[in-house]
A and B are shown apart, each in its own frame.
Chain A
Amino acid sequence: MQKGFRKWMWLLLVVPGTLFITVFMLIPLFSILFSTFMAESRFSLENYTRLFTSVYFQQVFGRSVRLSLLSTLLCALLGFPSAYYISRYSRHKGMMMALAVFPMFTSPVIRSFSWMVILGRKGIVNQFLVSVGLFARPQSLLYNEFSMTVGFVQLFLPQMILSLLGVMDSIPGDLTEAAGSLGATRLVAFLRIVFPLSISGLVTGAVLVFTGCMTAYTTPQLLGATDTQVLSTMVYQYAMSLRDWVQASAVAMVMIVVTMLVSHVFNRLSRRINPMAN
């Protein structure tokens, strides 16, 4: 009896959580997946053909991918030098990390709202552009792809910096010094040692930024407009305003497939190219 109980104890411990996730997440997910392949109560690809042939959806999908790629690129371009500086030269590494974590812990609503204050008609950017004569009169810089991109980059840049810091801090400093003493210039040492060793962190960070942008809802909702919809605001609109469960489900499925595919492929790549892992 005692022995049998011990043998099966793991089951008792994992069952409650497994049931919870299965009932409240997996079953609903499979149900919406199933519902998207049904039309007039039989199997059909109609929902997806309707979605993918709709010009509106193509625009929304294209915008989501475009803005996510652009934001990922900008986060990489801004994050790489910053992380390199913090890891190599900064004397206040702890403080710099804390300053990157602070915005991450701050509500995305507040962070998007701050751009509404800055980029609005009366915001400081407009005040500046008018005072130097670039703008004849203040004009709104909000509710377009520009403000959305700014919001995305500010939202996800900390993740990029932190994941780069994670790998850069594990590169031994002696390595570049050894390269230097063997005659490599700083640039060569950077290109041949630091950069290759940092790529895995860059890829991990890029996956976080890209999937984050593809699924973010607050930023496009507050800094975008009805003519700059993205996938997440489209799911919301179909579900809440139009009450079109099936189309909302189909768009949701597209989001899941794209984000899972991207993170699966690139996380594998990142593990493969990380020389420190071997």
Chain B
Amino acid sequence: MKKQHHIALGLITFLVYVFLIGPLLIIMAASFGEQSALVFPGKGFTLDWYVKVFQMSSFVNAAILSLEIAFAATAMALLLGVPAAYALNRFRFPGKGLLKTLFLSPVLIPCIVLGFIMLRYVISQWNLSVISSLLIGHTLLSIPYVMRVITSSLANFDFAMEEAAGSLGANRGYTFFHIVLPNIKSGIASACVMAVINSFNNVSLSTFLTAPGITMLPIEIMGYVEYHFDPTIAALATVMMLVTLGVMLLIEKTLGLQSVV
């Protein structure tokens, strides 16, 4: 009886994982097919689609833009978020709860609405460029990650260390960079990884923010699959998934996957 119950649960779990991972494996397998239509199971074996992906300048340019925005927005979010997280954990002042909510609030607003307000105000009304609106929008997306992770890192930090450094003659700036920052650097790293991945994969916000020659990678892919159904996208997806896998292995080796989810 005990054994059976165990096996039934195991079987359900196995099927659930097939449902989660199987489609992604099918895409990977289909990327090697020789036919020009995307089918699974495919016939033959070719790497031509991989060559084609890297020859398509629209994908390459979109990927470069997506990476640039993801890293720049994460850097902005750190510059704005780390000092605020430090202040909110270190000092006592009125309105702390409200400010904390404010820094976490972008996550409460649906991305599609954030994208819409970028288009409606930042681009149409304030006449900022599409690139700036992408940077601003993606920074908003990343601030809550920084806030949440840095707050929990600082919760484990003993601020008495700071006072000790101060009493030994270190000034506040020196203490922050030499005492506080090294203690929360793994938190900062986790926040960066999450923010970059989230920004790189974002569709709902970026979908409003395109201009001739300026398109983020996920939007470019969505546009392509509306009209084409060939293994090029499967090849591109496989490359992206291999990068994701590499990043996950790196996280597991350094920070532990638990720290980012």
Contacts and interface: CB of A to CB of B under 8 A. Distances in A.
Which of A79, A85, A186 is the most central at the interface, judged by chain B CB atoms within 10 Å of its CB? A85
A239 B13 contact: no
A129 interface: no
Q: Please tell me the size bucket of the interface on A.
A: 35 or more
Interface string B143-186: 10000000000000000000000000000100000000000000
Contacts of B244: 102, 105-106
A232 B204 contact: yes
B54 to A, nearest CB: 17
Contacts, number: 246
Interface in B197-225: 197, 200-201, 203-204, 207-208, 218, 221-222, 225
Given A106-B240, A217-B112, A81 B12 contact: yes
B253 interface: no
DSSP class of B's interface residues: helix, strand, loop or mixed? helix
B218 A114 contact: no
Interface string B233-257: 1100100110011011000100001
Chain B contact-residue range equals 35 or more
Of B13, B26, B257, B258, the most chain A CB neighbours within 10 A belong to B13
A122 B21 contact: no
Contacts of B187: none
Given A99-B17, A107-B201, A14 B9 contact: no
Contact of B24 (A26, A90, A111, A263): A111
B183 to A, nearest CB: 17
Contact of B83 (A17, A22, A245, A248): A17
B103 A17 contact: yes
A102 B9 contact: no
B23 interface: yes
A152 interface: no
B201 A17 contact: no
Contacts of A98: 248, 252, 257
Interface in A19-68: 20-22, 24-29, 31-32
B56 interface: no
Which secondary structure dominates where chain A touches chain B?
helix
Contacts of A276: none
A236 B16 contact: no
Given A21-B103, A32-B117, A222-B222, A102 B245 contact: yes
10 contacts: A9-B91, A10-B87, A10-B90, A28-B122, A106-B240, A106-B244, A108-B201, A114-B237, A215-B110, A256-B113
Interface of B: 2, 5-6, 9-10, 12-13, 16-17, 19-21, 23-24, 26-27, 30, 37-41, 79-81, 83-84, 86-88, 90-91, 93, 99, 102-103, 105-106, 108-114, 116-122, 136, 139-140, 143, 172, 197, 200-201, 203-204, 207-208, 218, 221-222, 225, 229, 233-234, 237, 240-241, 244-245, 247-248, 252, 257-258, 261
Interface of A: 6, 9-14, 16-18, 20-22, 24-29, 31-32, 78-79, 81-82, 84-86, 89-90, 94, 96-111, 113-118, 120, 122-124, 153-154, 157-158, 161-162, 186, 214-218, 221-222, 232, 235-236, 239-240, 245, 248-249, 252, 255-256, 259-260, 263
